[in-house]
Amino acid sequence: EAGVVQSPRYKIIEKKQPVAFWCNPISGHNTLYWYLQNLGQGPELLIRYENEEAVDDSQLPKDRFSAERLKGVDSTLKIQPAELGDSAVYLCASSRAGGTPYEQYFGPGTRLTVT
């Protein structure tokens, strides 16, 4: 079974430029998460999707960040414009949907460097 796929693995951009990250979850996983991981810290949730609906985006900085999950499968996270402080690893995870919080499976992440 294929794991969570993310691309690109690395991205270097100048500040004020836009950037987008793509995620393909594990087949059959209806729940998709985007996390932000700063160096030396644990991941922090940005947004959670149940199918195509964003059910928790309370931690997403909506002035510059946006996300979508069309058709309830792949998802894209966008930053526009990027700031120096956005340099971090962006992780995508997926899990089964259900009545209890199932374990989340993570992709390899996209390491963003804003110069």
Residues that bind other proteins (CB under 8 A): 31, 33, 40-45, 48, 55-56, 58, 89, 91, 93, 95, 99-109, 111
Nearest CA to 4 out of 44, 35, 41, 42 is that of 35
Q: Which is nearer to other proteins, 40 or 85 (CB)?
A: 40
Q: How far is CA 17 from the centre of its chain?
A: 18
Shortest spacing between CB 94 and other proteins, in angstroms: 11
Shortest spacing between CB 109 and other proteins, in angstroms: 6
Q: Which is nearer to other proteins, 45 or 73 (CB)?
A: 45
- The strand pair at 110-114 and 88-95 is best described as antiparallel
